[in-house]
Amino acid sequence: MITNGDGPRLLDVRTAGEFQTGHIPGAYNVPLDTLREHRMELGQHLDEDVVLVCRSGARATQAEEALAEAGLPNLRVLDGGMVAWESSGAPVNRGEQRWEMERQVRLIAGSVVLVSGVVGF
C-alpha cells in the first residue's frame, strides 16, 4: 500500500495465522468471517478505494460481495491473490511460518496410522 494516502486501502481477508505468515506491506487483516459480521460498520469507515486480498481470490470475492451489500462502491479483488502477488516478486512482509490446516491434519493422521501399525491395533 502506498503510505502517503494516495493508494487504495488493502484488506487481507485471510485468517490471522495466514496473514502473520506473509502479507502485502501496509495491508490490514480483517478475516472474512469478521468482515461479514461487521460489514455495515466497515462500510461507514471505508470511504476510499479498497483492494481485497486472500490466498487465491475466492474469499476476497466473497468479501467484495459482502461489502458491496453494505454500500461500498470502490471495491476491487487482487487477481490471483497472494499466490500471484508472491509469484510476481512483489514485496511481502514475512512473519512466523506456519503449516496450513490441511497439512497439519495429514501429519496427525499419518502419525496415528504409524502408531497404530507399530502398536498392532
Q: Would you state the cell numbers that stand for residue 74, as one nine-digit string?
A: 470502490
DSSP 50: E
What gap in Å lies between CA 10 and CA 93, rounded to an integer? Answer: 14
Which residues on adjacent β-strands are paired with residue 76?
51
Q: Would you state the cell numbers that stand for residue 45, as one nine-digit string?
A: 469507515
The catalytic residue positions are: 54
Give me the amino acid identity at 98: R
Strand, coil or helix: 51: strand
Give me the amino acid identity at 15: T
